[in-house]
Amino acid sequence: MSSVRPLVTVVRAGQHSYSAGLQLQQRLAKSNQILVPPAEFRNYLVLQEHEPVYTVGLRTKDYTVEDEDRLRRLGADFHRTDRGGLITFHGPGQLVAYPILHLGQFTPSIRWYVATLERMVVEACQQMGIRGAKATKDTGIWVGDNKICAIGVHGSRYVTTHGIGLNCCTDLRWFEHIVPCGIEGKGVTSLSKELGRHFSVQEASAALLTSFAKVFECRLQEQVTTPANPAEIG
C-alpha cells in the first residue's frame, strides 16, 4: 500500500429498497473500474438501511421457490445475490455498510479484506461498549453464541461490493423465520439488546466510521445525497 492513505468517500444513502441499494453499489463499482488505473479508482463506503428483505448468497440452490414464497408472505422482499454466505435479513434498524474499494490501493487480497472488515467491526463494537464482540470460525461478528453483525462480500478485479449488516435496533423477530447464515444452534443479537437501551443506526455509524478509518488506514470524506433518490449519487 502507498504511503499516502487512500481516500474513501462516505455516502449516507438513507433507507430504501434492497434493489435500489444493489443498483447503487453496482454502478459505483463499475463506473471507473475499467476506465482508470487502480490508483485513480474512487473508493466509496455506502451507509444505509434497507426495507425488510431476506438475501441469500452464492449457494442459492439451498433455497427453494417455496422458501422464497414463505418469506415474502411475511411482508419482506427476497433476493438472490452474488455475495458470499448463506441467508440473512436486512431491515430498518440495521446499519448496512458496503465498502466499494479497489484493493490495489490497500492490500490486494480478499482474505486480508475480510479479516480487516472483521477487525473493523470488532473495534467499532468495542467503542460502543460491546467488549465481548469477536470473530470466530463462523462468519460474522459474535457476542457469545449470538451474531451481532453479518458479513458477506464479493470481489471482482480487486473491486469489492456487498459488506456488513450490523444490528443496531433491528426487530430481531425477522430472524426467527430463517437459520441466519445457515449456522444451526446459534442466535442473533443487537447493540440495543446488549446495551439495554435503544441504540440507533446514527450512533453506530459514527463509531463505525472512526473504526473504518483507523483499521483500513484511510482518509474519509463525506458525500451527502437525497435518501429518496440514491441514483443521484456518484
Which has the closest alpha carbon to 5: 230, 212, 205? 212
At 129-143, the pLDDT tens digits run: 999 999 999 999 999
User: Domain ranges in the chain?
Assistant: 7-232
The pLDDT assigned to 229 comes to 53
Selecting among 125, 168, 181, 218, the annotated active-site residue is: 181
Which residues contribute to the annotated binding site?
83-90, 150-152, 163-165
At 148-190, the pLDDT tens digits run: 999 999 998 899 999 999 999 999 999 999 987 677 889 999 9
The pLDDT assigned to 85 comes to 76
3-class SS of residue 50: strand
At 188-224, the pLDDT tens digits run: 999 999 999 999 999 999 999 999 999 999 999 998 5
Which residues contribute to the annotated binding site for substrate?
83-90, 150-152, 163-165
Q: Which three cell numbers stand for residue 173?
A: 423477530
Percent share of the chain, pLDDT over 70: 91
Which has the closest alpha carbon to 60: 90, 87, 41? 87
At 64-96, the pLDDT tens digits run: 889 889 999 999 999 988 887 788 999 999 999
Continuous segment of H or E residues that includes residue 161: strand 159-167
What's the fold here for domain 7-232? BirA Bifunctional Protein; domain 2 (3.30.930)
3-class SS of residue 183: coil
Residues linked to residue 196 through DSSP beta bridges, in sequence order: none
Continuous segment of H or E residues that includes residue 140: none
More confident residue, 30 or 9: 9
Query: Is residue 181 among the annotated active site residues?
Result: yes
